[in-house]
Homo-oligomer: A and B are copies of this chain.
Amino acid sequence: MNKIILASASPRRQELLTQIGMEFKVIPSGMEEVPQSRQPEDVVMELSKGKAEDVFESLPKEEKEITLVIGADTIVAYKGRIIGKPDSRENAQEILSCLQGGIHQVYTGVTLIWQAGEKISFYEKTDVEMYPMSMEEIKRYVDTGEPVDKAGAYGIQGKGAAYIKEIRGDYNNVVGLPVGRLYQEMKKHFLL
């Protein structure tokens, strides 16, 4: 592969790819797909595939032959139910009230597409246990503005770290891109 394209506008995903030393270009997918799948792991793989395909298809033919496109999607699930991004301050408070003190799951699905449309999709799951939070703490945290655009209404890489007791799985999967697994898959397919 001569060229890597990340099909995501997320600054956190870009930072993670940079962190492990990858050079890449960003072409966000404008795709707003409603998933057909129901299970969290299927949903994130389906959505990551939609984004990667969208960007891959937009490339000129000669570019397709030398480019790897990476798509990714992250969701939070609690007791099997998918938790979205908060659409208001009140909603962020509700989500955090629901998650506090318990264990929830973060799923990130990743799809790689290269050459004549060869593709693989995989996902990683990370269990996250939060400390109990008082209503006042939840309000104070929501007031920082951090929960706004985050699945599960918290940022583990931000102030949210103060409320995380432990995780089981890949930390970067919670941030938005499982770079350990991603690197291993790229090594397997492209002999890095």
Contact = CB atoms under 8 A, between A and B. Distances in A.
Given A131-B184, A171-B171, A179 B161 contact: yes
Interface in A152-189: 156-159, 161-172, 179-181, 183-184
A19 B180 contact: no
A161 B171 CA distance: 9
Contacts of A19: 157-159, 161
Given A167-B171, A171-B167, A162 B131 contact: no
B180 A170 contact: no
A24 to B, nearest CB: 14
A67 to B, nearest CB: 21
Contacts of A159: 19-21
